[in-house]
Amino acid sequence: MNGNNNDVSVLVTGGTGFIAQHCILALLNHGYRVRTTVRSLAREAEVREHLKTGGVDAGDRLSFVFADLGSDEGWPAAAAGCTYVMHGASPTPTGEQANEDDWIRPAVEGNLRVLRAARDAGVRRVVLTSAFGAICAGHGPMTRPFDETDWSDLTSTNVWPYQKSKTLSERAAWDFVAREGQGLELCAINPVAVLGPVLGADYSHSIRLIKNMLDGQPGNPKINCGFVDVRDVADLHLRAMTHEAARGQRFLAIAGESMWLADVARVLKARMGPAARRVSTRVLPNWVVRLGAFRDPALRGSLPLLGLNLNATGEKAMRLLGWSPRPREEAIVATAESLVRLGLLRDTR
């Protein structure tokens, strides 16, 4: 632990989130004081328990404040006295909200609320957790790996509301800092699918890919995906927070090359022993996935990805910030092991 950071406070938004909690762990392990926002203070005990699962008893080095991205209330107090902000909280509409605006407007306005509060509080730098969805969507086949110069093409009909919200909210953040930032620094982290040790029952969509395989889904769509360990995503946030070279930059977070989901299943089969007995390495024909999408709306968003190579490169973060992510296979196995350890898989007795 670096004791030199004891008097430096960092605001981490959305403290109940998977990436946010690993960022909090990394910050506490490096001696920072952390303040985190939650939409319900009743969840403080849950977050602290998750951090203990991650090996840290935060004590009074961590504090909680109420703030909701849909309202100005609480954000000035949340940012007050903080040197840095890690902002990854993003509203996720319920399934009943089919309107695209229900995704986009809260994401854009939420980013602007946090940035205004940070600017007004004299924060030095905001590290924004964006997404690969702000880079890769709407392009069709690529002849090279995606990198930070790419932006999702929102003129395409094959862009999900989530990807639009991430693209427009990140662009709004860059525009705000350029026009109204008054010296506030910004950098963005764009992770691919984030895996790694689960800390509790509230986890990300990417983790469900592994859980569904271990629970015995009948096969794998022909979908290609990049992966990165959440601990390495947190480490990249930490590096981007203080490194001079990170100011004004985007960083794609991916470990190695992308993988087809059937190859992920093979890693589980090879590494997880009896816990992977229900894993299928079968590749589902595209027509089967399309048929399933008629019955399950959740599958429809994946249809444009069938057969598409979504490889990307994290070379920029490695070169500029000295970032060194663990192998993708290690992230896959760490996810599976934590799901087994915490008893989060379907009962197969």
Both tokens assigned to 320: 């500029």
Looking at the chain, list the stretches that DSSP marks H as alpha helix, in order from N- to C-terminal side. Answer: 18-29, 44-53, 75-79, 101-120, 161-180, 205-214, 230-242, 261-271, 286-295, 315-321, 328-341
Catalytic residue numbers read 166
> d(Cα 137, Cα 118) in Å, to the nearest integer?
30
> d(Cα 165, Cα 175) in Å, to the nearest integer?
15
> d(Cα 182, Cα 152) in Å, to the nearest integer?
28
Looking at 57-160, list the stretches that DSSP marks H as alpha helix, in order from N- to C-terminal side. Answer: 75-79, 101-120
> d(Cα 218, Cα 346) in Å, to the nearest integer?
14
By residue count, the chain amounts to 349
Classified as helix, coil or strand, 312 is: strand
